Amino acid sequence: MKQVEDRHLILEQRADPWVYLHTDGYYYFTASVPEYDLIELRRAKSLQALRTAEPVTAWVKHETGPMSDLIWAPELHHIHGKWYLYFAAAKSRDIVNGLFDHRMFVLENESTNPLEGEWVEKGQIQTEWDSFALDATVFEHKATHYLVWAQKDPAIEGNSNLYIAELENPWTIKLPQVMLTKPEYDWETRGFLVNEGAAVLKRNGHIFITYSASATDENYCMGMLCASDDADVLNPASWSKSFRPVFQTNADVNQFGPGHNSFTVNEKGEDVLIYHARTYTEIEGDPLYDPNRHARAQVFTWNEEGRPEFGKPL
């Protein structure tokens, strides 16, 4: 039987994919590698060309200490003329009280091309309390940069909620941090109570924040927050939340647990959803140690209300 090419596949075994189209015309790609031991970058002039682009190792985990294991979900951002990598790391693979021990860290590179130059460690992002924290992303709004991330509040049941804070500089937030959403609907609480993996999209007078929910198996799915771009983004009341997932498993085409997305545009100028998914549900042990979450891309559209319509994984 003829093998049909999966035109939505970017890279196999790359979870938490992040694609950034820079002003130099290159698409930059990073993601969690299966060994969770380093951060790699690649770039290409098209999304499809990322498949064959040569990866460059930007940073390798420490031998010991808080950045020595489980390097998760790197994101590449260009802020005030410099490159920044945001990522989560733990000091071990131990699970304490049902959680890993991740915190968020930042690297800086002054080179024009982030695949070159030196990545300097800027340290841990200090939040309001010291607890499990991951999946930092950055967006700019009205000349101010904001950090959105996932964190465990010791006073709230579950693994992680989504928070926002203004950035004083790319590695320092201004307190207080504000909770935007916590897991509450059934589709956010399957396996684990999780809101994580935020991505920001600004269009049509609104700011949209997608995020991922539930365990990292076939239950993983995407929800969405929305605020007017005239609103105070640090006020939780400015944000409305989708009652149901905006993107979820499509068993008809064997795409399971889509999530941890980012956004870009393709060479035609069409909006593209970048995400990961698996092609099966039979996972042995912890899904996080199953390497077969693949980075994928598909075009999405907008409805009459000016909201994104992601459809189903194809």
Residue matched to tokens 């991951």: 134
- How far is residue 284 from each of residues 90, 100, 141, 147, 280, measured CA to CA in Å? 23, 19, 43, 35, 11
For the annotated catalytic residues, the residue numbers are 16, 196
**Hey, how many other C-beta atoms are within 10 angstroms of the C-beta on 253?**
14
Cis peptide before 176, with omega less than 30 degrees from 0?
yes
- What does the DSSP 8-state code read for residue 101? -
Show pLDDT as tens, one digit a residue, over the chain (314 residues): 445 578 899 999 999 999 999 999 999 999 999 999 999 999 999 999 999 999 999 999 999 999 999 999 999 999 999 999 999 999 999 998 889 999 999 999 999 999 999 999 999 999 999 999 999 999 999 999 999 999 999 999 999 999 999 999 999 999 999 999 999 999 999 999 999 999 999 999 999 999 999 999 999 999 999 999 999 999 999 999 999 999 999 999 999 999 999 999 999 999 999 999 999 999 988 999 999 999 999 999 999 999 999 999 99
Question: 140-153 burial, b for 16+ CB within 10 Å, e for fewer?
Answer: eeeeebbbbbbbbb
**Residue in the structure block whose two tokens are 């860290």:** 105
Beta carbons of 87 and 67 less than 8 angstroms apart: no
| Contact between residue 148 and residue 142 where contact means Cβ atoms under 8 Å apart | no
Q: Report d(CA 217, CA 224) in Å as an integer.
A: 19
Contact between 27 and 41 under an 8 Å Cβ cutoff? The reply is no
- Helical H runs in the chain? none
Distance CA 41, CA 37 (A): 14
**By CB neighbour count within 10 A (0-12 exposed, 13-18 middle, 19+ buried), where does 277 fall?**
buried
Would you give the distance in Å from CA 100 to the centre of its chain?
18
**165 CA to centre of own chain:** 17
Contact 265/248 with Cβ under 8 angstroms?
no
Give the whole-angstrom CA distance, residue 263 versus residue 298.
Answer: 10
Residues 234 and 256 sit within 8 Å (Cβ to Cβ) = no
| Residue 136 φ/ψ region, left for φ over 0, alpha for ψ in the -120 to 50 degree band, beta for the rest | beta
Alpha-carbon gap, residue 240 to 32, rounded angstroms: 30
**pTM for the structure as a whole:** 0.97
**34: which 2 tokens?**
């299966």
Instruction: Give me the residue label for tokens 């579950």.
Output: 158
- Per DSSP, helices labelled H in 125-281 are none
Residue type, 20: Y
